[in-house]
Structure 1
Amino acid sequence: MPGILKTWPLWPEFTKQADADVYSQEPSFLRAKKEIIEQYGKDAICQSWLKTCQALESVTQELEQNGADMIPAFEASKVVNEGFTESERERIKNIGCFIVRQVVPEDEARHQYAKFQEYLSANQDDVTGWPADAPSMYRLYDSPTQIAMRTHPNHLKVQQRLNELWHDASGETSPEPLLYSDGIRDRPPLQQFLGLPPHIDAGSLSRWADKTYRNAYHHIFSGNPELHDAYDLKARKDADQYLFPGVAHSRVFRAFQGWTALTPAAPRAGSIMLFPHVRMAVAYVLLRPFFRPPESGDVMDASKWTFAPDEPWFPGTFLQQSQLLSRSSHPHLRLQDCLVASPSMKPGDSVWWHSDMIHAVDTEHLGEENAAAVFIPACPTTPINKEYIKTQKEASLAGRPPPDYVFGAGNLNETLFKGYEGLEGVSEEAKKALGFYS
């Protein structure tokens, strides 16, 4: 089964020559690299590199052959009432992404979309979005539609099930969900969109530079990437994703990022694309800055790459952006063959992906109607998340954007919008997840 990307979009490629000034003028890059080398040693890092690249040979072959069949789908009623079986848990944790169907009933999701269009039309002079010339990602966070979708009782129960896929021996966290306020998308047919190329959220250089964060990847740097546990919340709960503040970074730890569809979604119709193997993909991204490709010969032969301890270049890593990837800078991922479009979705279906997962937004939208989705992640209760939710609640009550989204929001005050309803009508369960009782 060939990859969906017949022609590679005009996404940026990352080369050492083009990015030289960025890295030579910022000491944090080389400092982080040297700290990791001092902690783990050249031999362990080189051992991990060879193991990871070898493992990716079979991973990418499987992705190319199976495409969207790699991504499992579950009915929300089953997830809510029964959770996941052991075999389902194992598959989910290995792949790192999946569909949960009808988290919100289809007719209810369609109703909420119609309500959103009315809200958008009534406030069009005050709503901004991105891209600026033809917005489809709106700077709205508490429209009645967004609040209704994220506080839906099924959504809260599904999020708890997803948080339970993580484990924490410290006892300092809980799978009880906290509700993170995010944006909304409404993309018309035929609108090209290049703004979200292959990337990983939850920070960029912070994965290497923050000592707590990089400790979550201890096995990757110590020569044993096959032992990496991508679901250890004890290792991840105190990581500083916001070490380098920027518009692309979130203070909150999202166990799974998520979209819930308001309209039908399908491959090549504005959908999301995923790299359905979280463990070895993130290992490769973390190890890649330590190695220089051969000047000639087979670039796919990992043994020909040279250990580069003194080069500050971290390909696709920019302080204020998410971790970016490209075909030329990360060749062993074979992105053109292995980025998989999410399976078709109905209104009310949701797609979820691990916080370390490579993903991108399809540049094409060849569908016949708008591709609309509410961004709703699954966030467990952690000390950092609880503190954020408190500040988010205060911002929401005042009509301001959430703390993670103040960049570019101007003087947004949603309480002044026509049709604004606020949080008055939400359930007690939702209020708890919104930080009212913490």
Structure 2
Amino acid sequence: MTTSFSSLTLPDDYKKNIVEMKRAMRAQIGDIAGLFRQVCDKIETEIAAAREEEKRNGSAWPEISYADLAAGKVSPQQIAQIKRRGCLVVRQTFSRESALEMDRSMLNYLDENHFDEVYRGPGDNFFGSLEASRPEIYPIYWSKAQMSARQSEQMAATQSFLNRLWHFQQAGGSWFNPDVNIIYPDRIRRRPPGTTSKGLGAHTDSGALERWLLPAYQKVFRKIFTNRFAEYDPWDAAYRPEVNEYDVANTTKCSAFRTFQGWTALSDMLSGQGLLHVVPVPEAMAYVLLRPLLDDVPEDELCGVAPGRVLPVSEKWHPHLIAGLCSIPAVQAGDSVWWHCDVIHSVAPVENQQGWGNVMYIPAAPMCEKNLAYAHSVRNALEKGASPADFPQEDYEQAWANRFQLSDLNINGRRALGMEEN
């Protein structure tokens, strides 16, 4: 398994690598068109079922309460539906008042350190390949509100529940420890009332070119790439902690393995107000992977994929998937929203948004050798108040007042940064 926090250099001739990969994959798979039809049938069936769930329940997203999660009262039927959809809302992971206080605290932190005066604009172009605009992201990582949420008992219990949806055991051990998560510091979004936004186009994170070109990712998706789609299980963790990403200058990447991406609401958000959408079919990654192998795609192209950018999903290349985007339900401050690391997601456009749209991005990143190596870099960044290694080195917070300190870590936080035995 991966033993160090490392990245890979993108080959100068990666277009040649794409051509060679396609030739090898086509020979390995055989009937590409037949396999793609099989995948489309699965996706169309699941999207039709999700639309029925929307009509019946108001949303295709499974919902559970944090109280039930913490008490071990989530039923097998609920777990099966979460795995089927690859996403869920955990209601009141934090109390509404606690979340609203986090939001006030974060605003005070930004104001007292004059963020509006020093902000220099986006430090990367990570979303530049998407058709819609970027969301209102603040490159802030070390507020007391963010860190308190990351090291809280509520977050630890929720992340453990999510990790245990995966098959993480292997011969002689396990791919990760489901009950200890590293702190993976990410940014915040603050979107004020009255905002008009184009949203954010459909995409996936955690690897774009890498999903085709790297041997570890080819092992992750081996059932797809050997024409055994019926055996493919998106919840199988095998080889995922061995995947790295190419190191491309001045962009965002992910050097940790995340079972789920997620955010925690810091404001109430109404339906139709620029909310997150997903394609609630975790197997849909098979469509994305196979689509460039069809005959209508140029031999050195991967349907819009570019180095150092998110993996775009578009109407041009992926119409079945765009047709399947389903909105989260309305959320309250304190609810947390989660989606499987392969699940395609977008942010809907909005005109004259009603109310705030504020969130903290906190994923589930279970402890493994790969994640422990990244956790050590997180500890160093926290100590200095620097931007984490996976993000542009903007370093706004190094001299900020009231920044979270190493001494503020509780036992969860210390364990999450590799400072205590797990």
Query: TM tier, shorter chain?
Result: 0.7 to 0.9
Name the amino acid aligned to 2:231: L
Aligned-partner SS, 2:254: coil
Cα distance, 1:421–1:205 mapped onto 2, change above 3 Å: closer
Cα distance, 1:79–1:134 mapped onto 2, change above 3 Å: closer
Once residues 126 and 227 of structure 1 are traced to their aligned partners in structure 2, the CA distance between those partners, rounded to angstroms, is 52
Spell out the pairing of 1:217-256 with structure 2 (5 A cutoff): 217-242=221-246, 247-256=251-260
1:117 aligns with 2:91: no
Cα RMSD (Å) of the superposition?
2.4
1:212 aligns with 2:216: yes
- Superposition deviation, residue 284 in structure 1: 0.5
1:377 equivalent in structure 2: 363
2:84 equivalent in structure 1: 94
1:37 equivalent in structure 2: 26
2:144 equivalent in structure 1: 144
Once residues 195 and 143 of structure 1 are traced to their aligned partners in structure 2, the CA distance between those partners, rounded to angstroms, is 26
Once residues 214 and 32 of structure 1 are traced to their aligned partners in structure 2, the CA distance between those partners, rounded to angstroms, is 11
- Superposition deviation, residue 224 in structure 1: 2.4
Spell out the pairing of 1:283-322 with structure 2 (5 A cutoff): 283-293=286-296, 311-322=299-310
Cα distance, 1:198–1:136 mapped onto 2, change above 3 Å: same
Name the amino acid aligned to 1:143: S
**Aligned with residue 388 of structure 1, among 374, 378, 383:** 374
Spell out the pairing of 1:25-104 with structure 2 (5 A cutoff): 26-38=15-27, 40-43=28-31, 45-67=32-54, 69-82=59-72, 84-104=74-94
2:270 equivalent in structure 1: 266
Name the amino acid aligned to 2:399: L
1:169 equivalent in structure 2: 169
Aligned-partner SS, 1:147: helix
Aligned-partner SS, 1:190: coil
Q: Deviations over 1:41-65 (max 9, x none)?
A: 323x333212112222222323344
1:339 aligns with 2:307: no
Q: Which region of structure 1 is more displaced relative to structure 2, 353-362 or 27-36?
A: 27-36
Q: Deviations over 1:17-58 (max 9, x none)?
A: xxxxxx9983232233233234x2323x33321211222222
1:421 aligns with 2:404: yes
- Superposition deviation, residue 144 in structure 1: 1.4
Name the amino acid aligned to 2:193: P
Cα distance, 1:157–1:49 mapped onto 2, change above 3 Å: same
Once residues 246 and 134 of structure 1 are traced to their aligned partners in structure 2, the CA distance between those partners, rounded to angstroms, is 16
Name the amino acid aligned to 1:121: D
Aligned-partner SS, 1:199: strand
Name the amino acid aligned to 2:89: I
Q: Deviations over 1:88-108 (max 9, x none)?
A: 222111110000011111111
- Superposition deviation, residue 135 in structure 1: 8.0
Aligned-partner SS, 2:118: coil
Once residues 151 and 410 of structure 2 are traced to their aligned partners in structure 1, the CA distance between those partners, rounded to angstroms, is 8
1:330 equivalent in structure 2: 318
Instruction: List runs of 5+ in structure 1 lacking aligned partners.
Output: 1-22, 294-307
Is residue 415–residue 422 contact of structure 1 (8 Å, CA) maintained in 2?
Answer: no
Aligned-partner SS, 2:197: coil
2:98 equivalent in structure 1: 108
Cα distance, 1:100–1:166 mapped onto 2, change above 3 Å: same
Cα distance, 1:224–1:266 mapped onto 2, change above 3 Å: farther
Is residue 263–residue 373 contact of structure 1 (8 Å, CA) maintained in 2?
Answer: yes
- Superposition deviation, residue 350 in structure 1: 0.5
Is residue 24–residue 312 contact of structure 1 (8 Å, CA) maintained in 2?
Answer: no
Is residue 254–residue 390 contact of structure 2 (8 Å, CA) maintained in 1?
Answer: yes
Q: Which region of structure 1 is more displaced relative to structure 2, 415-424 or 342-351?
A: 415-424
Q: Deviations over 1:57-96 (max 9, x none)?
A: 2223233443352111111121122063322222111110
Cα distance, 1:332–1:245 mapped onto 2, change above 3 Å: farther
1:402 equivalent in structure 2: 388
Cα distance, 1:243–1:92 mapped onto 2, change above 3 Å: farther
2:184 equivalent in structure 1: 180
Q: Which region of structure 1 is more displaced relative to structure 2, 63-72 or 344-353?
A: 63-72
- Superposition deviation, residue 166 in structure 1: 1.1
Is residue 138–residue 185 contact of structure 1 (8 Å, CA) maintained in 2?
Answer: yes
Cα distance, 1:219–1:245 mapped onto 2, change above 3 Å: farther
Name the amino acid aligned to 1:324: P
1:196 aligns with 2:183: no
Is residue 199–residue 322 contact of structure 1 (8 Å, CA) maintained in 2?
Answer: yes
Aligned-partner SS, 1:392: helix
2:118 equivalent in structure 1: 126
1:297 equivalent in structure 2: none
- Superposition deviation, residue 270 in structure 1: 2.9
Once residues 235 and 248 of structure 2 are traced to their aligned partners in structure 1, the CA distance between those partners, rounded to angstroms, is 24
| TM-score when normalising by structure 2 | 0.86
- Superposition deviation, residue 339 in structure 1: 1.1
Once residues 16 and 247 of structure 2 are traced to their aligned partners in structure 1, the CA distance between those partners, rounded to angstroms, is 14
Q: Deviations over 1:198-232 (max 9, x none)?
A: 00111101011111112111111222222211111
Once residues 351 and 413 of structure 2 are traced to their aligned partners in structure 1, the CA distance between those partners, rounded to angstroms, is 34
Cα distance, 1:246–1:358 mapped onto 2, change above 3 Å: farther
Q: Deviations over 1:130-149 (max 9, x none)?
A: 49999821010011111122
Once residues 245 and 255 of structure 1 are traced to their aligned partners in structure 2, the CA distance between those partners, rounded to angstroms, is 25
- Superposition deviation, residue 413 in structure 1: 4.7
Cα distance, 1:104–1:82 mapped onto 2, change above 3 Å: same
Spell out the pairing of 1:4-19 with structure 2 (5 A cutoff): none
Instruction: Give % identity.
Output: 27
